[in-house]
Structure 1
Amino acid sequence: MRALLGLRETAETIDWPRMRAAQLHAGRRLALPLLAAQLMGVTMIVATLSPAVASLPLAGWAMAVLCAATWMVRRRLAFDDRNAIVASLADVRRTVPEAILLGILWAVPALAFGRVPTDEIGVNLWSTMTLVITAMAIAMGALPMASLPFIAIMGFAGAASLLAVGAPLVALAAILLTILLGIGSFSRGCALILLRANQMALADRDQTVSLLLREFEDTSSDWLWEIDVQRRIARASPRFALSLGLDPTTINGMPFLQALAGGNWDSGHFAAELHDLAARLRGREPFRDLPVPVNIGEEQRWWEMSASPKFDERGVFLGFRGVASDVTEQRRANAQIHRMARFDTLTGLPNRLHINEALAHAMAEADRWGSRCAFMMIDLDRFKAVNDTLGHPVGDRLLQHVAERLKHLMGDEEMIGRLGGDEFAVVVRDASDSARLERLAQAIIDTVSRPYEVDRHTLYIGASVGLALGPRDGRTAEMLVRSADLALYRSKDGGGGMFHAYEPQLHVAAEERRVLEFALRAAVEQGQMHLTYQPVVNARTGGLLGFEALLRWTHPEFGVIPPAKFIPLAEETRLIPAIGEWVLRTACAEAARWEQPARIAVNISSEQLHSPAFATTVADALASSGLAPGRLELEVTESVFLREGTSAVATLERILDLGVQLSLDDFGTGYSSLGYLAHTRFNSIKIDRGFVQSASRGTKEAIAIIRAVVALADSLGMATTAEGVETEDEHHMVQAIGCTRAQGYYFGQPLPVQEARALVSHTGRATIAA
């Protein structure tokens, strides 16, 4: 209130300098009407009082009023309405003397000439003064600091004169009118301030929005555009035109779709997204983030467009207003991410996710049309040896070569992908031709098995393939993959290098394996496993030298389970270390009870030897049982040397340092590398039973191999043990060749612990020592 009245400066949020300029603007606009009201009022006063008042005083008063009014109006008109944006408090306060002077002059008729002889003159006088005070309240209401003093002086002067002539009620009415006009004038000033404040806020907002839009168009990758009812460009930002490669001065009026289609406009070949955009424009539908291909010269870009229809106040459609942004790089990045998510980075083939999606789609199509699809799983044979011997970089390059070969085998109905590691998969969308599937599977095996030249290495690997048909072998993609996986296991179990189709019994075997694995985990704890002991004899004399501890498993429900079935399962499930430790401790404890110092041989898996703590386990087993280290012989196979970067050789050396004997088992069936014998101090070599049986039938190659092994062992100071001797002829044959030890059914089957103890008791110390 005090700021509006001009009584004080204020630091409020309202911009009072601009408000005061608005007050002065309002006073300027009504300055001439105010002058006209003043002139009319003076004329009416002079006409009313001239019969009763001397002419000279009346004329002097009239001239004074007109001069003061003219001076005030000139000062109002002197305010620059167009250029003055702000006004000071002093500018507003300068209106007060004018108003007071004018108010005093207008109070003269009431005070000096108010006592008139007739009621008619009095009525005309007070009517004229009421007109003048009301006009002043209206014309100067925007400036309460000027209008209120004028209203107060005239009002109270009139009331005083009315009291003087004995009209108190009329005087009271004059005071009430004065108060009402003062309130009205002040209210008009408040209304002007509020209106101007709102106008200023709207103007500021419009200016801010305009600046933001201008900055948006200049710096952003988004562009504004408008089209009319005929879908022609009505207004487009310069950046919009330049992004289309068009002249900003000629783009307006061009068909909107023509501008977007570019060179394709004349041919009439439009992308489906442009047809969608045209349909939305025809339907006058708002849309948001609609992807549209835009041809700019020879390059295709992608824009995202959003727009809303425009209507006037009567609801008449005027066109569209929208925004567009270039999202080409974003789409390229998304496409790259999509590719990385669905393609293998090493080979460029579809990865597991993509293969699963393709298989699910093929299954859905086969179910829809009543046809068949197929899924092949491919596992590389002997690839692990390449990784272990030559390193992973060579293995990765080998996988790339394999991928290139497999891609060239695929037709339009097949998709090849890499599942991970050395596993690949093929999705066959149309598997109606069974012969074609078999030819493809065999072609995969033959192609992969051809030699490779990688980093000056000639590499030989193979492939095993498992095949499953959908929906016959699985109603879902997951079931079909499992069926193909089971068929692949069958191919691998058969030695690799072959393909096998899924058969229902494979699922039965897999379920049996699952049940067997579950039972195997509890077998040792529940005492279902036990050891048998097969005699090892002197091949020349037949005297007992010791026993080989053999693991046996009798399940209460499934009965006797052969080692050939549960030992590989224990190795795959990583149960073999725990089982092997139990075998070692049990065999050592049993041998320590024997009356004679017979040796005990225990088979050790590669998983046990690759544990750095295994030597400590052997030492603990010897210490806890009290068995002499020289009576323990550990049998290992060549597989322990195939993994590089492990501690197997160091573990063997620590075991030898304990005084334990080492035997190389199944020599001749694997790589048979002489380097193993040169770097590890083996005490004996065991010749596989297959060579023994072949040699007994007169096979020259087998006889030659056994002779070579025996000669090699003799030269290195090692004993040789012939396994699987089952007949007297075989016994004589291994004697003749020069084997130092023998074992097999001819000398005795694996014995229960009690019979083994009895055999040791009935065998003399001298015989065992021999």
Structure 2
Amino acid sequence: MTSEATIEPLVEHCLMVPSDTPCSEVGAHIFNRGNRHTLLVRADDGELGVVSREHFLHSMAGAYGYGRQLLARQGIGELTHWGMPAVTPDTPVATAAALMMGSEAPEGFRDLPVVGADGDPLGIIRPVRLMRALADDAARRAETDGLTGLATRARVIAGLEDAIAGLDDGDARVIVAFLDLDRLKHVNDSLGHGAGDALLRSASRRLLAVAGGADVVGRLGGDEFVVVARMRLPAAITAEDAALAYGERLRAALAQHDPDLPDSAQARASVGVAVESSPGADAEALLRLADTAMYSAKLGGGDRVQYGRRSAQGVDAILTDALHLMFQPIIDTATGMPTAVEALLRAHTAADDSNFPADIKLRAVRQGATLELDRWVLSRACRSLRRWQADGLEAARRLRMHVNLSPETLVAPGLADELLTTIAEAGVAPDRIVLELSELSRVGDINAASLELAALDAAGVSLALDDVGVSLDTLRLLQQQLPLSLIKVDRTVVAGAGRGNAVDAEVLSVIARIAAQLKVEIIAEGVETMAESEAVARAGIRHEQGFLRFRPMSEPLLRARLASAAALAMRR
């Protein structure tokens, strides 16, 4: 933990005189020396006051030059500024500055008297020195994490940029290690934040001890740490091997038992490492690569090191190694046949493969990579659809593929070209694709993207508005001049109508009527019970998606279900 800066090195020793010392004596023996900025004055009751050289000389001169004659016999106490707060050498700089600015001084800031622990005067502290120290302290705080004493994000980035700029295109490399503690939340929840802070300080000490020679060791916030190091690689060692070995040193240091912490407050770390050899590389991009590698290590169970590789397309394969798609059919209740499937992004975890990857989505937003992630999903969904067609699945010939667009993706430049290129590269006709716009998308962003959405529509891609009815904003979006082909009713409305809620049933009917007026298709989402299905049917909606018909499933299981559905249709 960093110590707070105090005023001790700023204290200037000065002379002190009793308050009844004649002004003529002060002028003759003190200020005439020319090296005293301020004089401390002590009253009979022990109170301290200050007299500045400038104030004293101005008063002695007087308005017409008679000040010296008038004041010569008066005590210096008559010219003293009393009531100034006294401080001690261990007073924090910020506290002293607040006292100085809070004092009522008619001529601006005043020097503050400084006393020892016993109350005896030691000297003064001048405003100019105090303000400089305050600025230096603020700059230090901006670069230093207050809890651990490590570098802040700003200093990490600056250090990383300097390290990269210092590369010489030879065998020098910059290694970035991104570390995340695996159990900080558990420690905070079970033992309290005091124990969590102790764990963070312990981790910081161990990192500093093992990362000798590193350019910078920093804490980005929470339980995330970064180490930046430069090294030269022998010919026999690859950059990947060197980075993994360095990351393993850091991981092992954090895995060691700290005797100062209780057993339940011990924690290990997931580590991602990335390497750069070019002096013109982007520091933020290198940090993101290490961050992504770290998250892959965490998804793999934690307490391990993962190396960050860049793919030829510029999209880090590490991120997508943790992801896969599941598919949920959309059913025409009149025929019982699937008419479309929605591709759902899911994360591989040790316990379950059906979890929505909220952390990965959040990281994509933070890194400005939502378009990349959405293109990854779109590409794999399209390739799956093409495989089903190539394998001769009859049901796949009529299926459309629904893919979600992140709200942040809507504002990406060249959105239509990017998505159409992805569809074309997968070998699928654009009219087989439905792009779902999230209910989290802002009206302004959707309107700003209207030209890109119109281009997608003109190319044959269908656009759907997802989760309609969850809020008034989604209903307002229906008033916009958007090329929508489909509306999906939010599951909360469907569930309420299924429970007999009159308001939800009416909302369901209103949305169905709006869809009819707009001449767009409508799908009820989240249908889980027969009561909900019957409520949907009463509203005149014939397409459903939900657990009642099909749960999300893997691609092999979906292929089997499609083949079974086709065989059943033929028997009919």
TM-score with structure 1 length normalisation?
Answer: 0.38
Instruction: Return the structure number with greater relative CO, CA threshold 8 A, min gap 6.
Output: 2
Q: Which has the larger radius of gyration?
A: 1
TM-score with structure 2 length normalisation?
Answer: 0.50
**Structure 1 or 2: more helix by fraction:** 1
